[in-house]
Amino acid sequence: MIPIALTIAGSDSGGGAGIQADLKTFSALGVYGASVITALTAQNTLGVTAIHDVPADFIAAQMDAVYSDLAVAATKIGMLSQPATIEAVAAGLDRHKAKNVVLDPVMVAASGDRLLAREAEATLKRVLFPRALIVTPNLHEAAALLETSVATSESEMREQAQRIRALGARAVLIKGGHAEGPEAVDLYVDEKEEHRLVADRHRTLNTHGTGCTLSSAIAAFLARRLSLLDAVTLAKSYVNLAIAAADQLSVGHGHGPVHHFHALWKRSKDGEGNDKTHPA
């Protein structure tokens, strides 16, 4: 039986983040993907122009439909913009005894557009953190969740990770992609150990959807029955390679997507000698 993962998140009409990025990631990593859409966004590589929230009762209906039929081995949670949405998702997780929950606290899009209502932040921490196997904030999200300044050192990242874990999650991965320096350093912290995960930093504007892709990759590897630390480690490697190959796609006029299928699509040259990428 193929492993199955579920994404509960918002739709990105531009295809680079949210539900679309999650399903691409699941597929690229050999996992069947199901989806529960929490919001519709009018969005492209330049920004978000509109958000339409899905009613909480319809979110619950989607969850019931998926969990009652599919053997979901891991669940990734992304954009949940309103308190009622968060409550509905938490109730659905409990109702279906969801396992391997990966929570990406999506608060602000890469364009700077806010995706989580300020009044929903407390609900997110109170209701969903205790139900999560791992929470994956970036530096700015971690600071916002703790109402403090953005970490500027690894010691500050470690301290913030511990404070976030104290909110109920079994493990925390603070992503250092927004920091400076030649390396992108993430810190993994659980109840027993800490790990420093390092990857080369790539010079590209095409990083739209990296957070969604990382959290869904963790869920995919969990669905394939890897340990949490192995899932996190392999997910970071996958995202790093997707970023390295992002410029092959040339999508949009702003911050384009990462290349989810970098290992599956062939590269060739066009008539002018430029790299092109296409399905094998």
Angle at Cα 174 formed by Cα 43 and Cα 8, nearest 5°? 45
**Arithmetic mean of pLDDT, 176-203:** 84
Answer yes or no: is pLDDT of 71 > 80: yes
- Determine the angle formed by the axes of helices 228-244 and 210-223, rounding to 10 degrees: 140
- Mean pLDDT across the stretch 92-108? 93
Whole-angstrom distance, CA of residue 216 vs CA of residue 140: 20
Q: How far apart are CA 231 and CA 51, in angstroms?
A: 32
Do 236 and 242 meet the contact criterion of CB atoms below 8 Å apart? no
For the segment 113-131, the average pLDDT, to the nearest whole number, is 83
Percent of the chain beyond pLDDT 70? Answer: 90
For residue 146, what are its two tokens?
């703790």
Using only C-alpha atoms, the chain has a radius of gyration, in whole angstroms, of: 18
Question: How many folded domains does the chain comprise?
Answer: 1
DSSP 128: I
With b for 16 or more beta-carbon neighbours within 10 A and e for fewer, the 24-38 pattern comes to bbbebbebbbbbbbb
Residue type present at position 164: I
Tell me, what CATH number does 218's domain have?
Answer: 3.40.1190.20
- pLDDT confidence band for 202 (50 / 70 / 90): confident
Q: Among 6-20, 24-38, 84-98, 99-113, whose mean pLDDT is lowest?
A: 99-113
Instruction: Kindly provide the residue ranges of all beta strands, DSSP E only, lying in 122-254, ordered along the sequence.
Output: 134-135, 171-174, 183-190, 194-200
| Structural domain boundaries, residue 158 | 4-279
The catalytic residues are 175, 207, 209-212
Q: What confidence tens digit (pLDDT) does each residue in 6-26 have?
A: 999 999 999 999 999 999 999
Mean pLDDT of the region 136-157: 91
| pLDDT for the residue numbered 230 | 97
Where is 265: in which H helix or E strand? strand 265-269
- pLDDT given at position 203: 85
Give kind and range of the element (H or E) at residue 123.
Answer: helix 121-123
43, 14 Cβ separation under 8 angstroms? yes
What span, in angstroms and rounded, lies between the C-alpha atoms of 218 and 120? Answer: 25
The mean pLDDT of the chain is: 91
CA distance 100 to 219: 7
10 Å CB burial of residue 103 (0-12, 13-18, 19+) is buried
**pLDDT score of 280 more than 70:** no
**The two structure tokens encoding residue 152:** 């500027």
| pLDDT over threshold 70, residue 54 | yes
State the pLDDT at residue 200.
84
* Paired strand residues for 174: 187
